[in-house]
Structure 1
């Protein structure tokens, strides 16, 4: 192996397709990655996941009582490094991986811009937001495919990705620069917290689609730099 692969060996625990305990191996690999993901992996341009930063994420819900387009930017999430793998189901012949993940707490803050209608009332809000989610259970299903570069080296590319989540408690707070300091701004804060479960239920399809898109891009940036033989030697 050359020096590039020597460095990669630090944070990759390879698994074998023929391993009868493959799911346990994949779980061990993800747990082994945790300290490296906290620091970030410069070799393959993977930034730290704690804090995890998103420049921009757009969610749009065009049905139901919450018809809004929400743009979040300069988003910072803390707490992702405390993840624990709860379950793994891997089918490496077809490059599909299902993961169950638990997170004790996620703190998110950033900027937001919302336009739309909530319960038939027009909404225009813009400013800073904070959100806390406790006891988060997340699920992800990754559909990959094998690709080959010009040198004949094989990689896995994520073709599709789906995510889902639920949590025990949540808390929201906004600082609306349009309505801040008046009764509308305070009413919106109270409304968000008192109706968080219903709001999340309505926005969840849009949220999970947007989050999956972001993570697909993030993961592909790493996987397309890691030859398949490196982490799946008998592929």
Structure 2
């Protein structure tokens, strides 16, 4: 692995640790290095945004997958009054996200990311049954979902481990809160086995009440997607000892 890629990985670790990091973008080695103390929120937020594009890139050497577009074979939602599965879904939009703030608590080993994303698109197959707030809904077939602005609050709990005498960090727990800030467009085909009147009524309700519907159904989807990004992150972090990016 080249020294430039190692520098990029170290910078990526800042995204998850809010410690010091080093960024060295492969196509532009002139980008300055970022070295931040854990309590310097302004510095680490700048560094996180500089590093974030690297988070989304694949790296076959360590098994990191591409994150935008992202592929999910199955996303399952088991809500109190609604059950759904999304199959073979392609998600785009994580590249549009910007970190407005990033806060690391060294004593508690927690990281909080306040993230604004310009929008997402999801396409795939679905199976759904239950009640969508007040309306019964069932069906299976093709679906698409398009959003505009979304805010994600991502809370991460970290752990420390030692390997070959070196200390490393990884993420062990994740909490996600998501809020749709602008309209979401839902298109689920073949609802009610193609009964147009029933299907049109559900889609009209979903699109007119986009925020309430998003609040009801979005958490399983975002949890699955953020977990996949964090899985990538942990693969990168296992390659970088803590003493290569922590500022004392």
TM range (shorter): 0.7 to 0.9
Q: Would you say the 8 A contact 1:22–1:90 is kept in 2? A: no
Tell me which residue corresponds to 1:33. 51
**Structure 1: distance between partners of 2:46 and 2:153:** 17
Which of the numbers 100, 103, 106 marks the counterpart of 2:114? 100
Q: Identify, as 1 or 2, the structure richer in strand.
A: 1
User: Kindly tell me: are residues 56 and 31 of structure 1, through their superposed partners in 2, closer, same or farther at Cα, counting changes over 3 Å?
Assistant: same
Which aligned pairs between 1:1-235 and structure 2 lie closer than 5 A? 3=1, 7-13=5-11, 15-16=19-20, 19=37, 22-62=40-80, 67-118=81-132, 122-149=136-163, 151-166=164-179, 167-176=181-190, 179-180=193-194, 182-204=196-218, 206-207=220-221, 209-211=223-225, 213-232=227-246, 234=248
Q: Detail structure 1 runs of 4+ shifted over 6 Å in the superposition.
A: none
Deviations 1:54-95 (A, max 9, x none): 222111111xxxx11111121212121122110111123432
Q: Would you say the 8 A contact 1:163–1:211 is kept in 2? A: no
Q: Would you say the 8 A contact 2:153–2:177 is kept in 1? A: yes
- TM-score norm. by structure 1 comes to 0.80
The Cα shift of 1:206 comes to: 4.7
User: Kindly tell me: are residues 79 and 124 of structure 1, through their superposed partners in 2, closer, same or farther at Cα, counting changes over 3 Å?
Assistant: same
The Cα shift of 1:209 comes to: 4.8
The Cα shift of 1:181 comes to: 6.4
Larger mean Cα displacement after TM superposition, 132-141 or 184-193 = 184-193
Contiguous gaps of at least 5 residues in structure 2: 21-34
Tell me which residue corresponds to 2:25. none
Does the residue aligned with 2:148 lie in a helix, a strand or coil? strand
Q: Would you say the 8 A contact 1:102–1:138 is kept in 2? A: yes
- TM-score norm. by structure 2 comes to 0.77
Larger mean Cα displacement after TM superposition, 22-31 or 203-212 = 203-212
Between the two proteins, the alignment pairs up a number of residues equal to 227
Larger mean Cα displacement after TM superposition, 151-160 or 174-183 = 174-183
The Cα shift of 1:180 comes to: 3.1
